[in-house]
Amino acid sequence: MDTRRLILVLIFTFSSFMLWENWQKYNQPKPAEAVAANAAAGAAPTPSAALHAGSVPGAPVVAPAATVATAETFTITTDLVKATISSVGGDLVELELLKYKAHEDKEKTFQLFEATHKYAAQSGLTDGLPSHRSVFKRVAGPSSLAEGSDELKVRLEAATTDGIKVAKILTFKRASYSIDVAWEISNGSEKAIAPHAYFQLQRDNVSPAGETKMVSTFTGPAVYTEADKYQKISFDDIAGNKAKFNKTADNGWLAMVQHYFVAALVPKDKTPHEFYMRKLDGSDVFQAGVIVPIAEVAPGAKGETSVTLYAGPQEQSALKQVAPGLDLVVDYGWLTMVAAPIFWALQAIHSLVGNWGWAIVVLTIIIKAIFFPLSAASYKSMAKMKVLTPRLMQLKERFADDKQRLNQEMMKMYQTEKVNPLGGCLPILVQIPVFISLYWVLLGAVEMRDAPWILWIKDLASADPFFILPVIMMASMFLQTKLNPTPPDPIQAKVMMAMPLIFGVMFFWFPAGLVLYWVVNNVLSIAQQWHITRAIDAGGKAANDPKA
């Protein structure tokens, strides 16, 4: 297989991958027209027998159920978030990330938890104690993080019977997207109790706004344990009761993942807990959560438990501090081993140049320099093939009816001229994993979101609004095609000439950061290929000059 055929194969493979991703995206199940309200959806989960060990049965303490009409909300503001909390369940029903802009309207802030996707963070207790369907009352306190204060506590209390008092405490922290969610139980009854607390993330199965039209990233639950590492679970598998994941552990976390952002529940390490996932009946709303046992609470005693809720951007440095393995939600797939160092290098360059667009340009130059010898070998092979193309065409016409003789003559010519027709293949193949890894790094890095470059490029994560970069990329690809050997097959030649247009149209909807990388890479490739081709052409003319 010669270089042009390899290029065709790569183009076909890349195009097929884009089409498959696009097909997957647009064939996701559509949301139901009507679903139950967040506050009233789903009963409290039931822990398995493994978590019931050591529990003390007691008379059920029935908490009053909430209705939509009884739901009231209040807001809490810190330096990073604005949270809306419902009196029903004390649920986090809205969460604005104040440092990030909405995808459609840049005048608004981005909402992670919100009503459109029925996205909320819920929690409750089992065994008849207050759940996420119970009515809570807020204890008076500040609604904004005070100047000089590092945290803000929100306390909510629910009415029960038999003298048991239950409180839910949410602790917001300065300069952090982590929220401590704690339950406090005061047992004023005459019997010991040992309930369970559950913490869950509720969401529909629709990808968020802002996905590229050509590639959709993963949206759905994920689980991490030391035993099985990172496991992504599709909504379809949950709906079909086919979801496979490690359900019990004393470590790890559970998350709801989407492009750029994540909400994760992190139980305390070495605390036995159980993960669960379920689809609510009659809707396309899903719940994924964790159940944590509470140690026996004797009469007159208090018991408590808590988890950490991280709800914010997929900033890898911050995720690593929250829990081991949480940075894996920035998923580079099977090329993580290559992509992770690339992202590290991109961050290091950004710390020096202060602009993510210029960081992409510098990183592309560095990668091109690393692969310079391999690229040079590839371009030399193509340049020599270009010099031989007229003679190959003559051979094809001369032995058009004798394929075996044609192949023999072509091999003889390659040996005489010391040309390896496969010389351009290996260098290209070696670079493919690096290029794909960089592609996924630029696609998945939240740091690119709303990051400007120059002039008209105000957001490297969104498509070029004037399509200038895609047009430049098309022009560069067309010039590259002209520098390559002309395929002897007329059909192949037409296909190669059409490829810049096909790819250019695809890149109209790609994030500007990705297109910037391709443009810089193409410009550098053209310069290197032109220099090598010119040198070989000059050498070929000198060799054929009788006066030389």
Summarised one tens digit per residue, pLDDT across range 22-35 is 554 444 433 333 22
How many Å separate Cα 138 from the centre of its chain? Answer: 36
Q: Output the average pLDDT for the chain.
A: 80
Residue 52 CB-half CA count within 13 A: 7
Lowest-confidence region among 31-35, 57-61, 315-319, 496-500? 31-35
411 pLDDT higher than 70: yes
User: Would you place residue 1 in the very low, low, confident or very high pLDDT band (cuts 50, 70, 90)?
Assistant: very low
Position 420 scores a pLDDT of 63
Over residues 314-334, the mean pLDDT reads 90
Question: How far is the C-alpha of 307 from the C-alpha of 180, rounded, in Å?
Answer: 6
Residue range 242-251, pLDDT digits in tens = 998 988 999 9
Which of 127, 22, 136, 147 shows the shortest CA–CA distance to 74?
136
How many Å separate Cα 515 from the centre of its chain? Answer: 18
SS3 content of the chain, % helix, strand, coil (to 5): 40, 25, 35
Helix (H) or strand (E) holding 11: helix 3-26
Choose from 178-187, 338-347, 371-380, 514-523 the range with maximum mean pLDDT: 178-187
Position 509 scores a pLDDT of 79
386 pLDDT higher than 80: no
258 pLDDT higher than 60: yes
β-strand partners of 49: none
Question: How far is the C-alpha of 304 from the C-alpha of 126, rounded, in Å?
Answer: 14
**DSSP one-letter code for 284:** S
Question: How far is the C-alpha of 35 from the C-alpha of 508, rounded, in Å?
Answer: 36
Over residues 84-107, the mean pLDDT reads 91
